Amino acid sequence: MAGSKLAAKTDLHPFHFRAQLPFGGDLDAAFSPREIVDWVERFSIFDRFVLGTHPPNFFRISTKFSQGEYLDACRKAIERVRLGFSGEVFSGIECDLVVGRGKFSFRPGEALLKRFNPDISIIGFHFHHSLTYGGLYDMKLSDVVSALRWALTCGLFNVISHPFEILSRIFTEDPSEFEKIANLALENRVAFEINADKGFFEKPLKKLAKNGNFFSFGGDLHALSYWLKRDWEGLEVPDRDIFLLERVLGLTRDVADKEKAYWREMDPMFRELPYASSKRWALRRNLIRLYKSYLEPDVFGQELDKIIAIFGRLEGGVVESHVKELNSIYKRWEGEPKKKDRMRAERYFLQVPLTSNEIEIYAQWLDRAFELGLKKEQLVNTWDTPELKNFLKL
């Protein structure tokens, strides 16, 4: 692996968790706070990391508590597990930036944020239609810019999470405004996140690095199999679950990076379709369902032809090629595993540390950022604990 060394053993994006109801938690999360901390401690994964949650009214949070009670339970759960950890467990929340009629706010809101009182507060746009947040382009650029300026100057947040879809649009459509945003973030000591899952666009990253902006790095981990866990090394699996593990690991290994890369290419094609946004996203969802399906070849071909016909010849050819390749991978592994089966597979991954290959996967975007000019002192993960706590205003 290159010089990131597991981001100096520090992960600054909340590791999302889930507990039994009535507490509940993130529906995409596989582990409880105790399981996460025990795994991190047992294998020395991180010396410092963030354990936290989305807002209680986020679309993936399931709880029977009120919003305040849910955040109280999160705080208490983190306080309990940090006592037995040899390093530093920060409490965190990934807030949801809300834009409406020229006004800007966030979930869960300032009162609930103060009630939770996290060590680290990060905020981001969450467009739930796509892997790469294509819903961003349904907003006016002026609203995107104003919302980001508000988030940078309100004094409530340390980090802008997975920001590069936003930054890339501003960089492309209004370079002078991008420079103002970069300087505003620097003045207010707010970091831009390099997300280990979602990555970045190189041109705005290079510009920000040259400007001296601060960056954080984090895995955005809800579970291990969605994009990170790929290797069998060290796993002990009973015969009944061997094929399940083969499916989960094989699918992540073969498709996770490719799927994200292909959607970076295809999303602009969908944005340019002359339809209402609801129809564009319906088409996109149908395409995802199609390539994840296990249809007979003739039925698959008929359904794909209907979608391709909407595009021009060049764009249609790209979509056809990518979708056929993705479908061939999903079919090789008998389609996407059911949620309950994936969660059963996740239990085995707590047996082992990350392999050297998986650490490289985890750090690949950060390593690339260093190649593009990011300096170590700009990465807040590398700061010693007193300096990091000062940045977090603790």
Amino acid at 219: G
What rounded mean pLDDT belongs to the chain?
93
Q: What is the pLDDT of residue 135?
A: 59
Residue 298, token pair as written in the block: 């003739």
At 143 the pLDDT is 86
Q: What is the DSSP letter of 18?
A: B
CA 302 to CA 300: how far, in whole Å?
Answer: 6
Enumerate domains of the chain plus CATH numbers: 5-224+355-391 (3.20.20.140), 239-332 (no CATH)
pLDDT computed for residue 139 by the predictor: 78
120 close to 161: Cβ distance less than 8 angstroms: no
What pLDDT is recorded for position 129? 38
Q: Which residues of 132-167 are buried (b: 16+ CB within 10 A; e: fewer)?
A: bbbbbbebeeeebbebbbbbbeeeebbbbbbbbbbb
Interaxial angle between packed helices 164-173 and 141-153, expressed in degrees from 0 to 180 and rounded to the nearest 10: 120
Buried b (16+ CB within 10 A) or exposed e, 88-111: bbbbbbbbbbebeeeebebbbeee
Helical ranges in the chain per DSSP H: 5-9, 33-42, 67-82, 110-116, 141-153, 164-173, 175-187, 202-211, 239-271, 277-291, 297-308, 313-332, 339-349, 356-371, 385-391
Which residues of the chain are under the pLDDT cut of 50? Answer: 1-3, 128-134
Residue type, 392: L
Contacts of 205 (CB under 8 A, 6+ apart): 164, 194, 369, 372, 374
pLDDT for res 196: 96
What's the token pair of residue 108?
């869960």
pLDDT at position 136: 61
| Per-residue pLDDT, 279 | 86
What region, left, alpha or beta, does residue 31 occupy, with left being phi > 0 and alpha being psi -120 to 50 degrees?
A: beta
pTM across the whole model: 0.94
